Amino acid sequence: MTQASPPRPGARRLYGRAKGHPLTARQQALVDGLGAALAWPDDAPADPAALLPGCAQYALEIGFGAAEHLIGQAQRHPGTGFIGIEPFLNGVAKALAGIEDHGLTNVRVKRADARDEIERMPDGAFDRIYLLFPDPWPKTRHAKRRFVQPDTARHLARLLRPGGLLRVATDVRAYADHALPILLETPGLQWRADGPDSWRDNPPDHIITRYQSKHLGDIEPVFMEFERV
Ligand SMILES: C[S@@+](CC[C@H](N)C(=O)[O-])C[C@H]1O[C@@H](n2cnc3c(N)ncnc32)[C@H](O)[C@@H]1O
Active site residues: 135
How close are the terminal C-alpha atoms of the chain, in Å?
36
Distance 146 CA to ligand 1 centre (A): 10
pTM for the structure as a whole: 0.95
Q: Is 217 in the pocket of ligand 1 (CB under 6 A)?
A: no
Report the candidate in 98, 143, 97, 120 with the shortest Cα–Cα distance to residue 51.
Answer: 120
Rounded CA separation 52/130 (Å): 18
Q: Is 106 in the pocket of ligand 1 (CB under 6 A)?
A: no
pLDDT averaged per 10 residues in sequence order, the chain, 229 residues: 48 80 95 95 92 98 98 98 97 98 98 96 98 96 96 98 98 97 98 83 95 95 97
Question: Is residue 125 within 8 Å of residue 49, measured between CB atoms?
Answer: yes
Q: Is 134 in the pocket of ligand 1 (CB under 6 A)?
A: yes
Output the pLDDT for position 143: 96
Q: Is 84 in the pocket of ligand 1 (CB under 6 A)?
A: no
**Nearest CA owner, ligand 1 atom 25:** 88
From residue 116, how far is each of 43, 111, 171, 188 by CA, in Å?
10, 11, 25, 21
Rounded CA separation 229/226 (Å): 9
Rounded CA separation 179/152 (Å): 11
Output the pLDDT for position 4: 44
Rounded CA separation 149/14 (Å): 15
Question: Is residue 166 within 8 Å of residue 129, measured between CB atoms?
Answer: yes
Domains (ranges, CATH) in the chain?
57-228 (3.40.50.150)
